[in-house]
Amino acid sequence: IVESVGEGVTDVKPRDHVLPIFTGECKECRHCKSEESNMCDLLRINTDRGVMLNDSKSRFSINGQPIFHFVGTSTFSEYTVLHVGCLAKINPEAPLDKVCVLSCGISTGLGATLNVAKPNKGSTVAIFGLGAVGLAAAEGARIAGASRIIGVDLNPKRFDEARKFGVTEFVNPKDYNKPVQEVIAEMTGGGVDRSVECTGSIMAMMSAFECVHD
């Protein structure tokens, strides 16, 4: 909930309900004006910045020592200060304890599937990693009408929950003595139509790439 705004801020006002977003938008650069990119020239993800843009100073301190900002949002604190471009205004009736997951995990997985992978109706999709991002990716594949959604994860305890998000089949790489991409290729007659990698693991990225058909 917005407590106060800085000079020149007009997009939000005190008491507005907002979601912090670490891939901010200035709304003016070529990326923000493009339908194919959200990598804003001004506010793109920058883990090293650590300060506000207008004066290159931190707004946090403890015992007189500065604490740097984190990924433009600093949401591990109870109160934070961030660029207005890193906020999205939301309906005040939305329950904050539920809508908060839209800031990162849900929008990431759902958007990657629906807006980038764009699986066709009846297609096959492999989802690598069944955490929050992976479940959202599976939901995106389900919404798109995929006929088979294959969830890949090393933790079998995630499989039951993933069914609720549209996953139809499961593969645990630890259950096989060959690369998981070969397992998926055999399951699908040569490979899936789309795959979405949601773990950040380089090995998983390679498997996700190689499990897609020619």
* DSSP state letters, 42-53: TTS--TT--S-T
For residues 21 and 5, the answer to whether their CB atoms sit within 8 Å is: no
Comparing C-alpha atoms, which of 53, 54, 35, 57 is closest to residue 44?
Answer: 53
Q: For the ranges 9-23, 96-110, 123-137, 182-196, which has the lowest average pLDDT?
A: 96-110
Longest dimension (CA), the chain: 63
pLDDT at 35: 83
For the chain, give every domain's residue range: 1-95, 106-211
- Chain mean position to CA 181: 24
pLDDT at 133: 95
pLDDT at 179: 96
For residues 171 and 154, the answer to whether their CB atoms sit within 8 Å is: no
Report the CATH architecture of 1-95: Alpha-Beta Complex (3.90)
- C-alpha–C-alpha distance, residues 208 and 196, integer Å: 7
pLDDT reading at 87 higher than 90: yes
Q: What average pLDDT is seen over the chain?
A: 94
Comparing C-alpha atoms, which of 20, 23, 9, 5 is closest to residue 96?
Answer: 20
H-only helix segments in the chain: 30-33, 96-99, 105-111, 132-144, 159-163, 180-187, 202-210
pLDDT at 103: 83
Q: How confident is the model at residue 76 (pLDDT cuts 50, 70, 90)?
A: confident
Provide the terminal-to-terminal Cα distance of the chain, rounded to the nearest Å: 49
Beta strands in 50-184 (DSSP E): 60-62, 65-67, 87-89, 124-128, 148-152, 169-171
CATH number attached to the domain at 106-211: 3.40.50.720
The domains spanning 1-95 and 106-211 adopt the same CATH topology: no
Residue-wise pLDDT for 94-145, tens only, equals 999 989 888 888 888 999 999 999 999 999 999 999 999 999 999 999 999 9
Residue-wise pLDDT for 143-180, tens only, equals 999 999 999 999 999 999 999 999 999 999 999 999 99
**For residue 174, how many other CB atoms are within 10 A of its CB?**
11
Mean pLDDT of 24-43: 90
